[in-house]
Structure 1
Amino acid sequence: MSSQGETKSLSSCPFPCRMQKRLLGVSNWQSLAWKLMALMKRSVSGFLCAGSCLRCGILWHLKSTLSEYISKLDGVKLIRSNKRLGVIRGRMLGAARATGDVLVFMDSHCECHTGWLEPLLGRLATDRNRIVSPVLDVIDWKTFQYYHSVDLQRGGFDWKLDFHWEPLPEHEEKVRQSAISPIRSPVVPGGVVAMDRHFFQNIGAYDSDMTLWGAENLELSIRAWLCGGSVEILPCSRVGHIYRNHIPHTFPNEEAAVRNKIRIAETWLDSFKEIFYKHDTAAFLISKLYNTGVGFCADYRSAWDAAEGLIELSPCSDNINQHFEYNSMKEIRFGSALQFCFDVRHDKVILQNCTQETENNQQQWDVQEGGMIVHILSGKCLEAVKSEAEKDLSLHVCNKNENQLWRFDHSHVLDER
């Protein structure tokens, strides 16, 4: 049923084996219990093969309570992971265990309506190469007030690879035959998504090199379009979604989202990836400072301790100890919070709290086009010193030798996953 009053009937399951697979993400006990009951009551039983609840190391206190609760529900499986997988790898685990024809991934902070499932299955039955999503209505995160979406929109993204909603363009409005016609969308929202299980596996599933959560819906949509599929939002199916005004997790989730966007840029955008790097300055949080002569990267081994540690040389890796940023204030900053800066003590490069002083600043550096990094106050160059006795960064008279040639290399972030 659409908001405009048009109807479409789907009285029988269009899939021969009448199966459905559903994966649930867990956020807290109350929302999980409510959601499980809502799904069981509001999904036609003949369409349901098995529902799976994934618990991945976040809510350890629910171990026995959750097991007992799930054991009383027919057709629901509990999949456990000993470590935190995040959305992406959690969904991949659920998909690997699935046996039904269709996968439906749903976040735990959603509430479905009666009749939400049938339109998704019906649309997939006409073309197995589609990825479809319901219209996502808004549930207020404080009051749980439900707001029915009136204006239909589609999913899009910008050059920062951030998802956003956008009005339907005029040419898309013209090809729609009625108010309940499917909406072609560049990107599917990530909260609720359905697809043929074999199509999902054939196009490579989710990118296994993406971690935790962030931009997985964008990557899957790009993959579908480029592999001969399509992406649609179906007005006949509606699910409520709680949009939080904050993210309930901190680092490393924040950095994982940036990593995932870099992964998309490096994998799918070809030469257009440079536009992404120009627009998303946060992507440079995950830059390596690579020395051409030695072939190693700058590394801070005491990353979780206080500052005042020596910067060393180590083989380049994807470790957070090698994440640096050069900014417009001519500082070389370290880590996710970026509160530590390259400083100098007795010609050795160390990390200190960033001072942002304007005069006699030991923390200002000139990164030159040729690859040399000049310490502005002393006029000396940053040089990699690698011997049996030491592997550190020091200041030396500039002479353009290879050990004084550096580059901030964000493209190397993905090399050693």
Structure 2
Amino acid sequence: MTGTSFAVDRRFYYHLGEFDVGMHSSGGNQYMELSWRVWLCGGRLIHVPCSKIGHIQHQEDTTLDLYNYKRAIEVWMEPNLKQFVYDFYDNLTNLYVGDLSTQIWKKSRLSCHPFRWYLSNIWPTLLVYNEDIAAWGSVQNILTGRCLDNHGYLYEGPQDLFVELCHYKYLIQGFSLTRNGVLKTTLHCVNVAEYSSSSRPVLQKCLYGSLQKWTHVKRGQIQHINSKLCLDLDYWGPIMKKCQSDKLTQLWMFTKYEY
């Protein structure tokens, strides 16, 4: 929710335990933490689309955002989900965020759902992209050294897949290949819209069928199973081509492999 423009029942707000006083008020994510608490501890959020609220946004220190974010995830997320976040933001790993005992006590007092419940029931379309995986991280082309990139795309798609200089920011360049062959980001699956050479791979809503299955070996080709085509590169970006084992633009490597 947007913390500068919300209304809440006074008694319920105090029942939840108010804002986390250990967070920096000038940083963001304190509102995200409260919204998690609402959903996980018996409440709900409702958007009021016709309301109009004015707010002057001041420049903020982004390090305070990260401080607040870590306090939230340390209280609410299970260990494997925390690690998922730290893979995205490695500068959070050693960030000290103060005493959390009061917030953890509030959580236990309210008998809240685990965070996995939130992912399953409130935001089921969000993919935990490093679960049940064979390979994950940035996907780098062996010849050019460039990485697959989603350009921060957030909608259902289809949307073109890109390559850019590798910067290892997993929100934009994070991909995974599951053990059953799904190539995905946190929001999309990679698919081939047309089964013809020179077609372009796209990001789109995950269908979880054979249409979106891929195979890959370390430092090797990424092949779309149904079309028998391989992920390649040309001047404009990723493209599907007939597989050629000696073609360097068809060789790719993930940051990490689980085999």
Q: For residue 325 of structure 1, what is the aligned residue in structure 2?
A: 176
CA change 1:85–1:401 in 2 (3 A) is same
- Partner of residue 241 from structure 1, selected from 93, 105, 127: 105
CA change 1:246–1:367 in 2 (3 A) is same
- Partner of residue 210 from structure 1, selected from 88, 91, 111: 91
Tell me, yes or no, if structure 1 residue 396 matches structure 2 residue 242: yes
The offset of 1:364, in angstroms, is 2.0
Q: Deviations over 1:325-368 (max 9, x none)?
A: 1112212112x24x43332424321223333334xx3x222202
Query: Which letter maps to 1:391?
Result: G
Native 8 Å contact 2:151 2:162 kept in 1: yes
CA change 1:321–1:88 in 2 (3 A) is closer
Name the structure where strand makes up a greater proportion of residues: 1
| Superposed CA RMSD | 4.7
Native 8 Å contact 1:285 1:323 kept in 2: no
Tell me, yes or no, if structure 1 residue 351 matches structure 2 residue 197: no
Residues 173-212 of structure 1: matches in 2 within 5 Å? 209-211=90-92
Task: Indicate the SS of the match to 1:210.
Answer: helix
Task: Indicate the SS of the match to 1:242.
Answer: helix
CA change 1:239–1:57 in 2 (3 A) is closer
Native 8 Å contact 1:349 1:395 kept in 2: no
CA change 1:162–1:350 in 2 (3 A) is closer
Q: For residue 163 of structure 2, what is the aligned residue in structure 1?
A: 313
Query: Which letter maps to 2:166?
Result: C
Looking at structure 2, the residues matched to 82 and 89 of structure 1 have their Cα atoms a distance apart, in angstroms, of 13
Q: Larger radius of gyration, structure 1 or 2?
A: 1
Task: Indicate the SS of the match to 1:356.
Answer: coil
Higher RCO (CA < 8 A, seq sep 6+): 2
Residues 39-118 of structure 1: matches in 2 within 5 Å? 54-55=24-25, 56-57=27-28, 82=60, 85=63, 89=67
Looking at structure 2, the residues matched to 161 and 308 of structure 1 have their Cα atoms a distance apart, in angstroms, of 28
- Partner of residue 384 from structure 1, selected from 191, 209, 233: 233
CA change 1:300–1:53 in 2 (3 A) is closer
Looking at structure 2, the residues matched to 398 and 348 of structure 1 have their Cα atoms a distance apart, in angstroms, of 17
Looking at structure 1, the residues matched to 165 and 217 of structure 2 have their Cα atoms a distance apart, in angstroms, of 24
5+ residue gaps, structure 2, are 1-9, 32-57, 84-88
Native 8 Å contact 1:372 1:400 kept in 2: no
Tell me the TM-score normalized by structure 1. Answer: 0.36
Looking at structure 2, the residues matched to 246 and 285 of structure 1 have their Cα atoms a distance apart, in angstroms, of 27
Tell me the TM-score normalized by structure 2. Answer: 0.54
Looking at structure 2, the residues matched to 356 and 91 of structure 1 have their Cα atoms a distance apart, in angstroms, of 31
Q: For residue 191 of structure 1, what is the aligned residue in structure 2?
A: none
5+ residue gaps, structure 1, are 1-27, 37-51, 61-79, 93-105, 111-156, 164-207, 221-236, 260-279, 412-417
